[in-house]
Structure 1
């Protein structure tokens, strides 16, 4: 598969299976695709940069892209940077200790 084909598949998957990113004011960028190794790098930004549960979303994207797309062997997800990126503290560890989040899995 070509890098363009793998990039298109990745973009399609994220648009259709992770609509919460756009619905909540965030966005994603596919920064790099290596067709030979199957490595994909995705950055999430916009409102995701300031979201305390972005690490949970990033973890889900890493796992699900590799599991669901043929040709993807490794996924790197990072927060998009920039001078105006307001990154909130990571709330993942706090949430993992809260009873209501015991079985939390992002809805995508």
Structure 2
């Protein structure tokens, strides 16, 4: 499979299985796909950045995406920068460290 195929599968997974991101005013982009390494970087931003469950969503994507896309072994989810940057980055940083988020399983 080509990197484009892996990227397309990653994008399709995000569009089809994580619709809450877009329904809630957030956005995502597939930033980088390395076919040989089986890795991808996905950035989320917009309303996701200030959302209380964004850290949980990020962890869930990192866990579920490799299980759903053939050839993908590791996913890193990062926050978008620039115009899509965090609304409240300090709050989001604090949330990522909260123990409550370790076992959260979002509804997707």
TM-score, length of structure 1 as denominator length: 0.85
Kindly tell me the number of residue pairs found equivalent between the two proteins.
103
Distance 1:14 1:80 in 2: 15
Deviation at 1:104, TM superposition (A): 4.1
The gaps in structure 2 that reach 5 residues or longer are none
Bigger CA radius of gyration: 1
Q: Name the SS for the 1:40 alignment partner.
A: strand
**Residue 50 (structure 1) aligns with:** 50
TM-score, length of structure 2 as denominator length: 0.85
Structure number having the greater helix percentage: 2
Q: Name the SS for the 1:4 alignment partner.
A: helix
CA RMSD of aligned residues (A): 2.1
Distance 1:38 1:104 in 2: 25
